Structure 1
């Protein structure tokens, strides 16, 4: 079957697998910089909270593609570590708005700074047009890729 796939598709699969493996390794190290007791998959969650400022659990679960129960468990762990807080939603008092605490933001920003420095070093020699195109294609890919889970 592999021989029947177009070479560009096989190359994308290989490079994506490499990228995901490296990304997972980097994220595991980064979460330990944020807090030694964080779960490895917390980096993406913290990044979304940092970028959104404040968001509802249901909106975050939809954006991340995880169940509300799974996300709620992760949020409770982050709250226990003092990295995330829940505030009443001003529109719907039954719901809560999630955001990073000041400590969570400080720790996340310090760890993220390390990651961004490494990324900048890796891409330093890329022409600006290539970097812009790479970002555009990644955004397009992430917006269109919806893996099926069986």
Structure 2
């Protein structure tokens, strides 16, 4: 039984499109806070590296849905900016572990604090339950995309 009317789906599409448009703009601003020469698409990559401490290029490529070649080029750019380092994997010298440098962590954490403060201002009038529900539904949506 499908009770998702075209009107409801158009409403969701419109709101999601607005969110994505604003998100791209915000990612550009936050990327510039991390480093003036940082590509706006790299913020999400830095977020995963910050969250995972150290990860293999192949694992990160699979998680983000980015080809290893594209990801390797992005990592090269981040290395050149001094934000990421590549180290040989101890168990397999052919593989590389990626980590944020101390400077990369410092810059990322400062930019993230700014971003979280903005989120806090946006939802300050929401109830805790509404914020939790919003996060839960976003996760459910993202999980369905994977």
TM-score, normalisation: structure 2: 0.94
In 2, the alpha carbon distance for the partners of 1:41 and 1:25 equals 11
Q: String of CA shifts for 1:104-142, please: whole Å, max 9, x gaps.
A: 000011111110000011011111111111111100100
Cα separation, 1, equivalents of 2:59 and 2:128: 34
- Report the counterpart of residue 37 of structure 2 in structure 1: 37
Match of 1:81 in 2: 81
Per the alignment, residue 51 of structure 1 pairs with 51
More strand by share: 2
Count residues with an aligned counterpart: 142
CA distance in 1, matches of 2:55, 2:136: 25
Distance 1:29 1:127 in 2: 28
Query: Whole-Å Cα distance in 2 between the matches of residues 94 and 46 of structure 1?
Result: 23
RMSD between aligned residues? 1.0
Any runs of at least 4 consecutive aligned residues in structure 1 with deviations exceeding 3 A, and if so which? none
Structure 2: gaps of 5 or more residues: none
Please list, as runs of the form range in 1=range in 2, the aligned pairs for 1:1-150 lying within 5 A after superposition: 6-146=6-146
Give the distance between the partners of 2:96 and 2:6, measured in 1 at CA: 47
Unaligned runs of 5+ in 1: none
